[in-house]
Amino acid sequence: MIVNITNTIAILKKYDIKPKKKYGQNFLIDGNVLRRIITLSKVSEKDGIIEIGPGIGALTEALAEAAYRVLAYEIDEKFITVLNNELIKYKNLRIIEKDFLKANICEDISLWLEGCKRLVAISNLPYYITTPIIFKLLEEGKLINEFYLMVQKEVGTRLTATPGSKEYGALSVFMEYKATSEILFEVSKNCFYPKPEVESVVIAIKRKQPPIVVKSENDFLFFIRKIFSQKRKTLMNNIYGCYSINKEQIQSTLNKLNLRLDIRSENLDLQEIRDIYVNLFESPNQ
Ligand code: SAM
């Protein structure tokens, strides 16, 4: 088993690798955390797993043991040799040397994971690109319905935040629109080598049908980003600053929806945001 401090240091030494901060290289060294991820994600021998950033293979090894097939994307070429040597016995493992953000997920799935009963993304994410990875999985990985991801605690809190809390923002609303998400458990800094500066959590994200309907999803998602762009401003001022709409029009929309004129975006739920958007941009008299 790779997942412990002695083996991790030995592998890094053997291949003369120094962990790179710029790629978020903090390796999991705690077997209990790893087992909890495998148990809670209910990986079975019929599943196909997508892993982003296998590193030296601690999680990959456990996934290859438990799943039917594993597809892992690693950006750092130094780890490709490590993985090919250390995990050589796993014939169900396919490693792709690539920046995950540039990968064609659908093509790779059809080449390697076809026939799997369930597709699940499981990863100890490189934290510097957490949000783009989650959005890519949601947008392009249409066949992947569940994600179990290790993320920075602060990001996990924002992803799962509800209206009115200080962490609630565009990211929380995006998630509410596309998926259900929950924090499964917290993970201490001591479970990684090298020790990161931040605490971590494992989150579960499950894709869902958007609970509301809009004509242009792209425009709606853009609107969500814009109304949270300056958190200290009121909703009205955020809209006014980003679109060529006059204040009277915004006021009349808020009045019509029985919302206070000085309301801030952080106090609006997804349905209210949708109603404001539709009234401003999709109503017949637009
Ligand atoms: N899975 C290993 C573990 O749990 O010990 C390593 C996790 S480490 C937090 C993140 C990994 O993601 C590193 O191996 C890093 O090189 C890789 N990585 C960083 N950016 C990436 C990208 N854009 N695409 C694919 N892998 C990336």
Q: What percent of the chain has pLDDT over 90?
A: 91
pLDDT tens string 128-163: 999 999 999 999 988 999 999 999 999 999 999 999
Q: Report the amino acid identity of residue 201.
A: V
Do 151 and 100 fall within a single domain?
Answer: yes
Dist. CA 194–CA 43, nearest whole Å: 27
Same domain flag for 133 and 269: no
Domain total of the chain: 2
Average confidence score pLDDT of the chain: 95
- 112 touches ligand 1 (CB under 6 Å): no
Q: What is the domain extent for residue 93?
A: 5-207
pLDDT at residue 241, as a whole number: 87
Q: Is 151 in the pocket of ligand 1 (CB under 6 A)?
A: no
160 closest CA partner among 173, 142, 143 = 173
Cα 57 to ligand 1 centre (Å): 10
pLDDT for the residue numbered 286:
54
Q: Is the CB of 97 under 6 A from ligand 1?
A: no
Q: In this structure, are residues 102 and 91 in contact, taking their beta carbons and an 8 Å threshold?
A: no
3-state secondary structure at position 28:
strand
In a domain, 166, yes or no: yes
Assess contact for 212 and 273: CB atoms under 8 A.
no
Q: What is the pLDDT of residues 28-65, one digit of tens each?
A: 999 999 999 999 999 999 999 999 999 999 999 999 99
CA of 114 to the centre of ligand 1 (A): 24
**Residue range 87-114, pLDDT digits in tens:** 999 999 999 999 999 999 999 999 999 9
Nearest CA to 11 out of 99, 84, 69, 64 is that of 84
CATH of the domain at 50: 3.40.50.150
29 Cα nearest atom in ligand 1:
5
Asked if residue 193 and residue 227 are part of one domain, the reply reads no
Statement to judge: residues 131 and 189 lie in one domain: yes
Examine the domain organization and report whether 104 and 154 are in the same domain.
yes
Determine if ligand 1 sits within 6 Å of the CB of residue 48: no
Q: Are residues 33 and 148 in the same domain?
A: yes
- In this structure, are 103 and 38 located in the same domain? yes
Question: Would you call 13 helix, strand, or coil by DSSP?
Answer: helix
- For ligand 1, whether the C-beta of 54 sits within 6 Å is yes
